[in-house]
A and B are shown apart, each in its own frame.
Chain A
Amino acid sequence: MKCTRCKAPAEVQLRAHNSNFCRPCFVFIFRRQVERAIEKQRMFTRDEPVLIAVSGGKDSLALWEVLVELGFTTTGLHLSLGIGAYSDASTEKTVAFAEARGLPLITVPLAADGLAVPDVAALTRRPACSACGTMKRHYFDQLAIDRGFPVVVTGHNLDDEAARLLGNTLHWQMEHLARQRPVLEPTHPRFVRKVKPLYRISEYETAVYAFMRGIDYVVDECPNATGATQLVYKDMLNRLETASPGSKLIFLREFLQRGQRGLSTDVPESPPQTCAHCGMPAYATLCGFCRLVRETETTREKRAASGR
Chain B
Amino acid sequence: MQITILPQRRRIDLTGRRRAADVLRELGFLPGTAMVIRGDELVPESAMLEADDVVEIRAVISGGAP
Contacts and interface: CB of A to CB of B under 8 A. Distances in A.
Contact of B64 (A59, A204, A230): A230
Given A129-B64, A156-B66, A212-B42, A219 B58 contact: yes
Interface of A: 1, 10-13, 15-16, 20, 57-59, 127-130, 132-133, 156, 159-160, 163-164, 202-204, 206-208, 211-212, 219-222, 224-225, 228-231, 234-235, 238-239, 241-242
Contact of B58 (A163, A164, A207): A207
Contact of A160 (B6, B37, B66): B66
Given A156-B66, A203-B62, A228-B63, 14 more contacts: A16-B32, A129-B65, A130-B65, A133-B65, A163-B66, A207-B35, A225-B62, A225-B64, A230-B65, A234-B61, A238-B30, A239-B30, A241-B32, A242-B30
Contacts of B32: 15-16, 202, 204, 238, 241-242
Q: Closest 5 CB pairs between A and B?
A: A129-B65, A225-B64, A207-B60, A129-B64, A228-B64
Contacts of B66: 133, 156, 160, 163-164, 230
A231 B47 contact: no
8 contacts: A163-B63, A203-B60, A221-B7, A225-B64, A230-B65, A234-B61, A235-B30, A238-B30
Contacts, number: 94
Given A224-B64, A228-B65, A211 B35 contact: yes
A82 to B, nearest CB: 15
Contact of A11 (B7, B42, B60, B65): B42
Q: Which of A11, A129, A207 is packed against the most chain B CB atoms within 10 Å?
A: A207
Interface string B40-66: 011011110000000000101111111
B61 A208 contact: no
B2 interface: no
